[in-house]
Structure 1
């Protein structure tokens, strides 16, 4: 587990970098594509969603029961339909990229402009962790460019 400090602009900057975002999303897509056929089936996407353990009830010590299996299935089906834009029954790489872009921009809107500390899982990767690392690399590159410019100015 890592803690990063980010805001909406951190996430937007990551999504705006087409190459970096595509590499990240494509790597996640490849990891989810268990049978390597180039598309995500309903079952493959469901396994990924289940790994988030979002539907295990209201949490430790809560009296709230876990959702009924039919409710869980309906939720997963609904999420799959959001990803499967062409309703082909499978999610291709372009559909996955488009939906992840939409999700990440919604996260950016939700974060707003106030920096927040966020705990992220660095075991399986995290788009938020990658966004924070992307921003840190951009800042480091700017500082290095400024140092190089200052050194060149001193050398004259």
Structure 2
């Protein structure tokens, strides 16, 4: 883990640098695709959520987490096959990162970053 100051424009710049962002998304996709079938199942995506170090797993009920993943798959699983391919995952991560940028705004915030966090790539 590390501590860094990040603001919205830093995150936006990272996302807009398509070569760097795509490389990071490819790495993250490969890491999550534990069975190497070229798509991410709901279980593969939730693997990180069940990590004991994940704050979200402690702050949200199972029903809230299930509802979140229902919404994610409804929006990003364009072919409604129950998995996300590399492109769908990239769209999801782009939207997540831009939402974070919007949330941070222009004022730098101090956050704790895990080693494999996409935000770690921003700094």
Fold shared per TM-score above 0.5: yes
The runs of 4+ residues in structure 1 deviating greater than 2 Å are 48-53, 69-83
Which residue of structure 1 aligns with residue 109 of structure 2? 116
User: Considering only aligned residues, what root-mean-square deviation do their CA atoms show, in Å?
Assistant: 1.8
| Structure whose CA Rg is larger | 1
Say if 2:8 and 2:106, in contact at 8 Å, map to a contact too.
yes
5+ long unaligned stretches in structure 1: 58-65, 133-156
Cα drift, residue 72 of structure 1: 3.8
Higher relative contact order (CA 8 A, sep 6+): 2
- Contact 2:49/2:57 (CA < 8 Å) preserved in 1? no
Q: Please list every run of 5 or more consecutive structure 2 residues that lacks an aligned counterpart in the other structure.
A: none
TM-score, normalised with respect to structure 1: 0.70
Residues 72/33 of structure 1: CA separation in 2 closer, same or farther (3 Å cut): same
1:76 maps to 2:69? yes
Which residue does 1:16 correspond to in 2?
Answer: 16
Determine the C-alpha separation between the residues in 2 that align with 1:95 and 1:15: 15
SS at match of 2:3: strand
1:97-130 deviation line (CA, Å, top 9, x unaligned):
01100110111011010112111112xx111110
